[in-house]
A and B are shown apart, each in its own frame.
Chain A
Amino acid sequence: DVKVTQSSRYLVKRTGEKVFLECVQDMDHENMFWYRQDPGLGLRLIYFSYDVKMKEKGDIPEGYSVSREKKERFSLILESASTNQTSMYLCASRPPGQSIETQYFGPGTRLLVL
């Protein structure tokens, strides 16, 4: 089975802290994605990556950065956390050029910024 894991299920941070959210997939997928999910807004794409060291901005990249040093790992970084970044963060991976049904999601990280 495809496995996408995220480093934390729940995280509480203070305003101004630097926050790292880690995502690891074990299926050798080239494509990896970070979304945030907020009530009534669905899932919105923050950043994605099609290869190691490659990154592309999604729809809401402001306040975030990413790192992809290894194929299996895609990190989301909040340089200086703010309360409006309190959200559920979901990581996903998918083989390139494949349909949606091959996209697999991690369990999510619920981040609370105080």
Chain B
Amino acid sequence: GIQVEQSPPDLILQEGANSTLRCNFSDSVNNLQWFHQNPWGQLINLFYIPSGTKQNGRLSATTVATERYSLLYISSSQTTDSGVYFCAVLRDDKIIFGKGTRLHILP
């Protein structure tokens, strides 16, 4: 089946720094989503981005479907950005998640 790989697995940054999270997938997809799981466990939809670029405040995402990767950019990190970031793709009506990137933003 399709593989979804995220890197890095862990990231520790000082508040104010910028970061780039990567998601590689092994087959073509027409559905890709980035989620943020806050420290209390709630998963929140960030971007639905099967292709192209989207921006929402300090966060933006780019998916290059032909090269099978997506990037999530976080600028001017804040402590509230801490948590786990997942990318996920849809295949046969089931969502397949990557293993996530755990982000720690230090004050």
Using CB atoms and an 8 Å cutoff, list the residues of chain A in contact with chain B. 31, 33, 35, 40-45, 48, 58, 88, 90, 96-97, 99-101, 103-105, 107-108, 110
> Which residues of A sit under 8 angstroms from B12, Cβ to Cβ?
none
**A interface SS class:** strand
| Contact with A105, one of B9, B40, B42, B93 (Cβ below 8 angstroms) | B42
Q: In the assembled complex, which residues on chain A have CB atoms less than 8 Å from the CB atom of B41? A: 88, 90, 107-108, 110
A84 CB, min distance to chain B CBs, angstroms: 18
Residues in chain B within 8 A of chain A (CB atoms): 9, 31-33, 40-43, 45, 48, 50, 86, 88-90, 93-95, 97-100
A101-B45 contact in complex given A40-B9, A42-B86, A43-B86, C-beta closer than 8 Å: yes
Establish whether residues A42 and B97, one from each chain, have CB atoms under 8 Å apart when the complex forms: yes
Chain B residues, Cβ within 8 Å of A97: 93
Find chain B residues with CB under 8 A from A107 CB. Answer: 40-42
A99–B50 Cα gap in the complex (Å)? 10
- Residues of A within 8 Å of B33, CB to CB, are 99-101, 103
Quick check: A48 and B48 within 8 Å, CB to CB? no
Instruction: Say whether, besides A42-B86, A42-B100, A108 and B32 are in contact (CB < 8 Å).
Output: no
Cβ B86 vs Cβ A48 within 8 A: no
A-B residue pairs in contact (CB < 8 Å), sample of 26: A33-B95, A35-B97, A40-B99, A42-B97, A42-B99, A42-B100, A43-B88, A43-B97, A44-B97, A45-B95, A48-B94, A90-B41, A90-B43, A97-B93, A99-B31, A99-B50, A99-B90, A100-B33, A100-B90, A100-B95, A101-B33, A101-B48, A105-B42, A107-B42, A108-B41, A110-B41
